[in-house]
């Protein structure tokens, strides 16, 4: 779960927008940069909220809670 929140969201939303903001000339709050700025802010908000939700629901993350328990939830772990 951490991989999606801490890796995929910044790669999909924040990194491209911040790269565009850095490479494009002009002031940060120009009309041309506004969509990229909004995308970066959105990505940061989603990453922070996702991390907070993951931490607050950490006791439920490793459980199988899809109604009927699938067989992979009951795999016996044995050490050889």
Tens digits of pLDDT across the chain (80 residues): 566 788 888 899 999 999 999 999 999 999 999 999 999 999 999 999 988 988 887 776 555 555 666 666 666 655 55
For residue 25, what pLDDT is reported? 94
For residue 77, what pLDDT is reported? 57
In a domain, 33, yes or no: yes
In a domain, 80, yes or no: no
In a domain, 24, yes or no: yes
In a domain, 20, yes or no: yes
In a domain, 40, yes or no: yes
In a domain, 51, yes or no: yes
DSSP sequence for 2-70: HHIIIIIHIIIIIHHHHHHHHHS-S-TTSTTTHHHHHHHHHHHHHHHHHHHHHHHTHHHHTS--SSSPP
CA distance 55 to 9: 17
Structural domain harbouring 52: 2-74
Number of structural domains in the chain: 1
């Amino acid at each position: 779960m951490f991989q999606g929140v801490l890796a995929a969201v910044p790669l999909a939303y924040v990194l491209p927008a911040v790269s565009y903001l850095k490479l494009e000339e002009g002031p940060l709050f120009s009309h041309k940069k506004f969509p990229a700025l909004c995308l970066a802010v959105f990505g940061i908000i989603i990453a922070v909220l996702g991390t907070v939700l993951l931490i607050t629901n950490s006791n439920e993350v490793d459980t199988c809670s899809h109604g009927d328990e699938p067989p992979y939830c009951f795999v016996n772990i044995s050490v050889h």
